[in-house]
Structure 1
């Protein structure tokens, strides 16, 4: 036995004697000894959610729950046994002692034990989860390792220690070598990791999406391990709210792996975990007492396609697409684990360097437009200011894509969008009943299609944020005339959306015309384009090769107005520029009158006598085979 252990044992024996008990006695006096030991060595208090804790005096600033596997109860039993020559306290004595100690804790001022990260002044403290209670303190001036945390932390069985950060080269470059994503995606990932160490803001759910073989699960496990190592960094979707709350309460960061379907209750639970949640449950062995699990967490998720997400959850995602890894570039898991373990300390050091810079500029960052996750967006803007990246723009684009995915998976939303687009600038003002009657209804109703007006109004309310993102305003603040005073829904497409829709229609029409004008390949018999597939050649007026008349009028124009391709001009063309298909646009500079329709058959080719086609709005008609002008 070491000198420290001998001293501790003697001190425990003295405490027991001071409590008026003989160490050799057995019976109810054991409870008094346990209470005396606890009050001598630990500060007892209640957390704000009503849980009793004890923190060791002059030791690691770690809060121990009174009960549990690694709680104060087991610590007291160990101390008591050492002080009493190996005599083990009875279960009844321990239970009595815990009851007394809970009363002592309730009389103290409440304190907040943090998990893994905590604010401290203008900086952040990161618990390394070592037995000694070591931590890292990050401030706007830099970061440093500390032997004892200045803030109170608590631990759980799901937590593993973080390595002490070591400045050893470019840790971000080492992380880049481990991640299978684009440069834009990697910048977003780094910004998300920096924000993950800032506890007092909502964090979007990092979502790795890609097909099989893109390294989603391994990448997510490494990312979560950087922030909050655990024996189970990847977890399956929980079966109910209680199971989810237990997992989330005991970890700062966790990942749901291979999510294919997100149920409504889980979607709501994930949203609440991002912004802050509290679950109330009946206390163990009681009928009328409750316990509260409060948490705000950093979450990640991997998926191929999570199906139709709820709009509020989609707005809380940060989606990064992963690329398929070619077989010749695929690495063995043992190799990845070794590289990750070697780089972990350096990655942390580089992240803390960047975090310190972000904390320094963050107070002066102002956003002209605040998206849904405004606090996180400010962190992105600070990262962009420090690194010269464009993560905020990438995040906004990712959020818009997520909303579009939501609407693609909602048949009712698609029907509403179609109805509003047809209404034009005036929009629509109607009740939920009228809306349900007027939207295009599929023959076989989808699962989520509202069955009555009440559900239609509720679904429209839920879809409103996503609809606004794509430019459809939803206002339900007005009421209809008496006596019913039904709620009226005003649905209007914004001017930007109408302009974009008009541009898309023009583009589609131009593409259609271009496809109509494009030359077709010869048919199986080897014949060229006919009037049946390129217009009615018989109906067109033959163009004259001279500029002295005919449908084309003066096609010669001024040669100085355009630059045709330098080609030899046959004598029978009387000096008219031949050009080629690549210079069809050049001919648009010629002053033409009575221009024939684009793609219309004009007349026979002067060489092979096959029908010619006009290319370009004002281009000369040419043969699709020999490219000769008409």
Structure 2
């Protein structure tokens, strides 16, 4: 009998008691289980050692890949830190240089591709993270550089540079001698994923102005009004390519079917094509983030502009810096530098506050009866003329650069820089000397006068002073007077209800009241500690003198920017 058979012979001896046989079976089962567990533990230990050795090897290789990748990138690429404390990686290309925000998806993709092409390895996430962290540490000591989104001046000679955002580092250089195509071979512009490419300019085949042809598709009123409106829009469009220029708000208003939104979109696409053509305002932060990613912002279909929003728009037009706490942090701050060209569209005129009226151009659009065109036809028409229209703008801007040093304004608007550039651009287009500045100043004055007439409080004050040369009384007396002039209960509800509220409202409209020939000021008379105010009509001589004084930048009412 074999050794194995002897080992299990007892199981077949049926003469032994069953309980003894059961104990033998259980003992054998336990022995087999111990042998199995011992074998498994030995396998796990060997497997664990293999995994640890493998992980250590991979970690070592990843560190090695990260180190070699960082050395390779720094050998051929450039790290740049801008005034906003953001770090960018400048990557040389066949034509120029591409710029990536450090730690962006585009930058990570570039680093991975570089590692695969050079080292034939796909780096781990930890390797890429270590490279980016190392670049951040290096850039802390780098000098800060002034980077721009799409348009900037050349710091060396004052030329205007326009990044076409075509993915091939192409840019346009405009000087007083003309314009030329150039290549961006250093880090000058920030990357903007939302920006769309501008077309390559093509010389026009005719001498006719394509901008006038484009604007001629809209109805702005009678012949004289249309001529002045088209000139203001032409100048605004050209001024959009002037870096860091504070530009007035363009407010298009009119009935449905007047083409106001399409006109705003076309002007946006000509100057700063972007994936977001229009923007609907829901929260204040939405406006902040949108302005941070686009030079021109179109606020579409607004119903009103409240005082708080009006003040915010004024700050954005002139330039402002906003600070926000970074998400998921306690003390980290995000900084936003804003200086945008803004456009609004609405059914009725929504620009009513004096500060914003001084910084706005109101454009009334009439309904296009029987002139409706499909969107496909409009897009095809615009895409066909865009390269030639771009050439026309660049040529005129080159002439404006030559003319601007010679400009001396006969009148000084509140937005004086825009006035100077606007006059230079208008002369470059072919308009007579001082035609732009006179038209622009007249437009602003008419806007303020019309806003008084449209404002309920202003119209009641005009009616109240119709047969009076002056009036002296307390603010409470004036409140009683205007309440008695109100025609119905609805008007009374819209008027200020307290003396304090009326005093604040009078301070807000006193500038535009003066344009309507009414001066509002405190009076020296005091009785029983009661303060008096004075309303007086300005005669023609005083009104002309005041207008001339304000036109030339005098007075506190038209403080300069």
Q: What's the TM-score once normalised by structure 2's chain length?
A: 0.75
Q: Please identify, of 359-368 and 56-65, the stretch whose mean Cα deviation from structure 2 is larger.
A: 56-65
Q: Report whether the alignment pairs 1:219 with 2:263.
A: yes
Q: 1:188 aligns with which of 228, 232, 238?
A: 232
Q: Is the 8 A contact 2:211 2:389 kept in 1?
A: yes
Q: 2:151 aligns with which of 107, 117, 123?
A: 117
**Paired position in structure 2 for 1:299:** 342
Q: Is the 8 A contact 2:65 2:123 kept in 1?
A: no
Number of residue pairs aligned between Structure 1 and Structure 2: 472
Q: Is the partner of 1:235 in helix, strand or coil?
A: coil
Give the whole-Å Cα distance in 2 for the aligned partners of 1:493 and 1:203.
33
Give the whole-Å Cα distance in 2 for the aligned partners of 1:436 and 1:257.
37
Q: Report whether the alignment pairs 1:290 with 2:333.
A: yes
Q: Please identify, of 266-275 and 238-247, the stretch whose mean Cα deviation from structure 2 is larger.
A: 266-275
**Paired position in structure 2 for 1:45:** 80
Q: Is the 8 A contact 1:171 1:349 kept in 2?
A: no
Q: Is the partner of 2:363 in helix, strand or coil?
A: strand
Q: Is the partner of 2:144 in helix, strand or coil?
A: coil
Q: Report whether the alignment pairs 1:354 with 2:399.
A: no
**Paired position in structure 1 for 2:89:** 54
Q: 1:269 aligns with which of 312, 327, 340?
A: 312
**Paired position in structure 2 for 1:204:** 248
* CA separation of 1:460 and 1:472: change in aligned 2, threshold 3 A: same
**Paired position in structure 2 for 1:326:** 369
Give the whole-Å Cα distance in 2 for the aligned partners of 1:490 and 1:403.
21
**Paired position in structure 2 for 1:593:** none
Give the whole-Å Cα distance in 2 for the aligned partners of 1:325 and 1:497.
42
Displacement of 1:292 in angstroms is 0.8
**Paired position in structure 2 for 1:511:** none
Q: Is the partner of 1:218 in helix, strand or coil?
A: helix
**Paired position in structure 2 for 1:259:** 302
Displacement of 1:129 in angstroms is 0.9
Q: Is the 8 A contact 2:407 2:424 kept in 1?
A: yes
Displacement of 1:242 in angstroms is 1.4
Q: Is the 8 A contact 2:249 2:342 kept in 1?
A: yes
Give the whole-Å Cα distance in 1 for the aligned partners of 2:535 and 2:436.
33
**Paired position in structure 2 for 1:339:** 381
Give the whole-Å Cα distance in 1 for the aligned partners of 2:96 and 2:308.
39
Displacement of 1:199 in angstroms is 1.9
Q: Please identify, of 256-265 and 353-362, the stretch whose mean Cα deviation from structure 2 is larger.
A: 256-265
Q: Is the 8 A contact 1:283 1:289 kept in 2?
A: yes
**Paired position in structure 2 for 1:229:** 273
Displacement of 1:64 in angstroms is 2.6
**Paired position in structure 2 for 1:107:** 141
Give the whole-Å Cα distance in 2 for the aligned partners of 1:279 and 1:49.
12
**Paired position in structure 2 for 1:507:** none
List per-residue Cα deviations over 1:207-246 (Å, max 9, x = no partner): 333322222222222211110111222222x212211111
**Paired position in structure 2 for 1:454:** 500
Q: Is the 8 A contact 1:50 1:291 kept in 2?
A: no
**Paired position in structure 1 for 2:410:** 368
Q: Report whether the alignment pairs 1:493 with 2:537.
A: yes
**Paired position in structure 1 for 2:42:** none
* CA separation of 1:342 and 1:36: change in aligned 2, threshold 3 A: same
Give the whole-Å Cα distance in 2 for the aligned partners of 1:433 and 1:256.
39
Q: Please identify, of 278-287 and 189-198, the stretch whose mean Cα deviation from structure 2 is larger.
A: 278-287
List per-residue Cα deviations over 1:32-65 (Å, max 9, x = no partner): 4554344334332332223222323587455432
Q: Is the 8 A contact 1:170 1:350 kept in 2?
A: no
Structure 1 segment 431-446 matched on structure 2, within 5 A: 432-441=475-484, 442=486, 443-444=489-490
Displacement of 1:291 in angstroms is 0.9
**Paired position in structure 2 for 1:397:** 442
Displacement of 1:250 in angstroms is 0.7
Q: Is the 8 A contact 1:80 1:89 kept in 2?
A: no
Displacement of 1:459 in angstroms is 2.2
Displacement of 1:28 in angstroms is 5.0
Q: Is the partner of 1:388 in helix, strand or coil?
A: coil
Structure 2 residue ranges without an equivalent (≥5): 1-55, 220-225, 545-561
Q: Is the partner of 2:145 in helix, strand or coil?
A: coil
List per-residue Cα deviations over 1:156-180 (Å, max 9, x = no partner): 1221010111112347633333332
Give the whole-Å Cα distance in 1 for the aligned partners of 2:420 and 2:176.
16
Q: 1:85 aligns with which of 114, 120, 135?
A: 120
* CA separation of 1:363 and 1:421: change in aligned 2, threshold 3 A: farther
**Paired position in structure 1 for 2:288:** 245
Higher relative contact order (CA 8 A, sep 6+): 2
Give the whole-Å Cα distance in 2 for the aligned partners of 1:299 and 1:149.
31
Q: Is the partner of 2:209 in helix, strand or coil?
A: helix
Q: 1:138 aligns with which of 159, 174, 194?
A: 174
Q: Please identify, of 438-447 and 402-411, the stretch whose mean Cα deviation from structure 2 is larger.
A: 438-447
Q: Is the partner of 1:234 in helix, strand or coil?
A: coil
**Paired position in structure 1 for 2:199:** 163
Q: Is the 8 A contact 1:204 1:274 kept in 2?
A: yes
Give the whole-Å Cα distance in 1 for the aligned partners of 2:260 and 2:317.
21
Q: What's the TM-score once normalised by structure 1's chain length?
A: 0.67
Q: Is the partner of 1:239 in helix, strand or coil?
A: coil
**Paired position in structure 2 for 1:36:** 71
Q: Is the partner of 1:261 in helix, strand or coil?
A: coil
Give the whole-Å Cα distance in 2 for the aligned partners of 1:177 and 1:405.
30
Higher helix share: 2
Q: Is the 8 A contact 1:178 1:336 kept in 2?
A: no
Give the whole-Å Cα distance in 2 for the aligned partners of 1:434 and 1:293.
47
Give the whole-Å Cα distance in 1 for the aligned partners of 2:479 and 2:198.
55
Q: Please identify, of 160-169 and 112-121, the stretch whose mean Cα deviation from structure 2 is larger.
A: 112-121
Structure 1 residue ranges without an equivalent (≥5): 1-20, 501-630
Give the whole-Å Cα distance in 1 for the aligned partners of 2:91 and 2:113.
15
Give the whole-Å Cα distance in 1 for the aligned partners of 2:76 and 2:473.
70
List per-residue Cα deviations over 1:7-46 (Å, max 9, x = no partner): xxxxxxxxxxxxxx99994455555455434433433233
Q: Is the partner of 1:125 in helix, strand or coil?
A: strand
